[in-house]
Amino acid sequence: MAVGKSLSATGTTRRVAARSRPWLYTSVGVWAVRLATLAGLLAVWQWYASGLNRALLAPPSEIAVAFYQQAFVQGTIWGAIADSLITLFGGFALSMAIGVPMGIMMGRVRAIEHVADPYVSFLYALPHVSVVPLLVIWLGFELKFRLAYVVVSAVFPAIINTMTGVKNVSPELLDTGHAFCASERQKLWTIVLPSSLPYIFAGARQAFSSAWVGVVVAEMTATLTGVGGKILNYANQFRTADMLVSILIIMCVAVAIQGLSSYLQARLAPWQQPEQA
């Protein structure tokens, strides 16, 4: 009986707290403010761009027409998006397949860390666009070059974050595993990896974003394919509306990457999520 009363009181308290929250802090209020801000920005953009040369800045109405032409009349945008996404997911998968095991080895084996850490730090700090000519000489202008450049752009955040997570595993947990005679493999799968998951996810999110940047840079600087290649082609023809369509698509993919990363982290590592009030 007491338990029922306690649960009822808890539910009542939550309902009262939800009703007492300001409207601005509810999900409806947040989205209302976001949409109103977006509408205001688009209105100002439309007004300002209407008095300019279309080669300088196209208004949102013309960008919408350009998107309709590319997407539903000509159909050219879908092939470009598919090329870019193939490179993105392929390069990201290779980066994680290389970066996570390398980070684990560097975090668990001191000798490997001493040997590899200077090279990882140097290559991570190196502006990756500087290796584009070398990769073109080695791999040409095809998919191999784009995948290689994406890996160069994205693998080092995965390595560094994974190594940091492995090195920050609680020594008490490792001592407990040792006390129960756990093998190195058992400690890796039951202690090290679960404890390192937040760091691995942080590295994956950073690597995913870096991979998308690498895709666009590779397409704009060398291959002239995909969404990045369209930006350069339209810029050379002063077709600002068509160019902005590609730029907005890049922005949408970047936002989707961040949202997908947050969703997967919440699903795969729920014990690391902050407690919601």
CB atoms within 10 A of CB 34: 10
| Residue 54, both tokens | 């279309």
Higher model confidence: residue 265 or residue 233?
233
Predicted pLDDT of residue 22: 79
Cα separation, 133 vs 218, whole angstroms: 11
Query: What is the DSSP-derived secondary structure letter of residue 188?
Result: I
pLDDT in tens, 108-135: 889 999 999 999 999 998 888 888 889 9
Q: What is the pTM assigned to this prediction?
A: 0.80
pLDDT, mean over the chain: 84
Q: What is the mean pLDDT of residues 55-71?
A: 88
Residue 120 CA to residue 98 CA, distance in Å, equals: 13
Residue 234 contacts by C-beta under 8 Å, 6 or more apart in sequence? 240, 242, 243, 246
pLDDT at 17 over 60: no
